[in-house]
C-alpha cells in the first residue's frame, strides 16, 4: 500500500519537468532592450545571427556591439 502511494506521488514529480514549456517565454517581435527602437531608427535593422563556414547559425555579437 505504501509503495503504491509513493509511486503515485513520485511519478508526477519525475515526469513533470520532462514536459517542458510549450511556447517561448518572450515573443520574438518584442524589443530586446529599451533602446532598440532608437538603434533601429539610427542604424537600421541589425541582424541577430549569421552563418559560419559550415552553415551553422551564430549570434552576431561583434557586428551588433561594434556599431556603438
Angstrom distances, CA of residue 5 to CA of 9, 22, 51: 6, 30, 52
Written as tens digits, the pLDDT of the chain (68 aa) is 888 888 888 888 888 777 776 777 788 788 878 888 888 888 887 778 889 999 999 988 887 777 65
pTM, two decimals, is 0.38
pLDDT on residue 55:
92
Which residues are CB-neighbours of 47 under 8 A, at least 6 positions away?
Answer: 60, 63, 64
Q: What cell was used for 19?
A: 514536459
CA gyration radius, the chain: 22
pLDDT on residue 56:
93
Amino acid at each position: 500500500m505504501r509503495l503504491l502511494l509513493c509511486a503515485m506521488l513520485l511519478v508526477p514529480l519525475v515526469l513533470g519537468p520532462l514536459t517542458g514549456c510549450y511556447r517561448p517565454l518572450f515573443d520574438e517581435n518584442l524589443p530586446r532592450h529599451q533602446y532598440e527602437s532608437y538603434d533601429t531608427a539610427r542604424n537600421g535593422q541589425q541582424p541577430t545571427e549569421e552563418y559560419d563556414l559550415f552553415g551553422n547559425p551564430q549570434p552576431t555579437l561583434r557586428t551588433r556591439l561594434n556599431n556603438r
